[in-house]
Amino acid sequence: MNAQPHAAFSADSLPSRLPNVGTTIFTVMSALAAERGAVNLGQGFPDFDCDPRIVDAVSAAMRDGFNQYPPMAGAAPLRQAIAAKIGALYGHAYDADTEITVTAGATQGLLTAILAVVHPGDEVVVIEPNYDSYLPAIELAGGTPVFVSLEAPDYAIPFDRLAAAITPRTRLIVINTPHNPTGTIWRDADMRKLEAIVRDTQVLVLSDEVYEHMVYDGQPHASVSRYPALASRSLVVSSFGKTYHVTGWKVGYVAAPRALTAEFRKVHQFNVFTVNTPMQIGLARFMADPAPYLDLPAFYQRKRDHFRAGLERTRFRLLPCDGTYFQCVDYSAISDMPEADFAKWLTSEIGVAAIPVSAFYHEPHESGIVRFCFAKKESTLDEALGRLARL
């Protein structure tokens, strides 16, 4: 009996779990910036060194023998330091053992949170423009995103439409403050409105607060942790990479009530299990001094003010920047090109890379706005401003 020949494997026969995901605009713009020798104000990472004391703390942890697996939820000293920080800043007492989990960066925390609480068919309210990991995570969980757009021209939160987006199928609302890409922040009144919207529902909140220490002009960071009615139904995500200028270390955390944390850890233990030990111990030791994160608003406000002062001498129209290390600008006085085309032209011809804000929407959305990152050395910002002044 002759054996039947087997068909050769073809990648085309494999259905994609994320069919709409391609190369991100961040990768495209960074590659173009490198190719053209442009000043890269596109992707959001510093071009200056971190505090050498934090490197010393991690190196000391390695020498002290902290080189094996830590507990799945994270090294106890770091979880205790995180809980103490949140308590001191926002007045909420998270239990370090049962309500704090150390993650492999904030993006992993966001994905794990969504996979833990969103079931197939659940609706997830997403406020656009939004960080680009939210939608793929919702899709992987089998959820359905429901979009609410911030209102032009200054990205106000449309609470009437946010309330109208809630249905019996809504499982989760994703919020982000300070907000990437717009640089806006939620204030106390905004959190009170959110409280009222979810009060008589079973809706959960996922609060992306990775820029929590970059809020300017004396404004406090309105963490959901400050609001007991919200904290009781929320997963709060933050990032050491953003706070300590070590984005490549990929260490973050999620704070949530015990029951939500238990579900979060069920997923966490099987998608990363845990996070590298010496960095956790080093971070815990470094956090004994709160000055580095307490001083961060003033540090970045100086950069913001310097960059904005330079942009005032260009043809860009500045949008508000109340937080983050991102500055959005309206370029309509310069060009009527679509945002992606303008960003590529700016990179190739002017030598400054930016990110089109349209990339943060789920479908085409043109508003003539691009985003710059000012988490750079002053010399880098000055070089970029000199080039932009020629427009």
Q: What structural domains and CATH numbers belong to the chain?
A: 21-44+294-388 (3.90.1150.10), 52-289 (3.40.640.10)
For residue range 328-357, list pLDDT tens digits in order: 999 999 999 999 999 999 999 999 999 999
Query: Does 201 have pLDDT greater than 90?
Result: yes
Confidence of residue 5 (pLDDT cuts 50, 70, 90): low
Instruction: Encode 374-384: b = buried (16+ Cβ within 10 Å), e = exposed.
Output: bbbeeebbeeb
CA distance 264 to 261: 5
Could you give the C-alpha distances from 223 to 118, 178, 248, 288, in angstroms and in order?
22, 9, 25, 21
CA distance 279 to 286: 10
For residue range 155-191, list pLDDT tens digits in order: 999 999 999 999 999 999 999 999 999 999 999 999 9
Structure tokens at 84: 């103490």
Local structure of 336: helix, strand or coil: coil
CA distance 51 to 62: 18
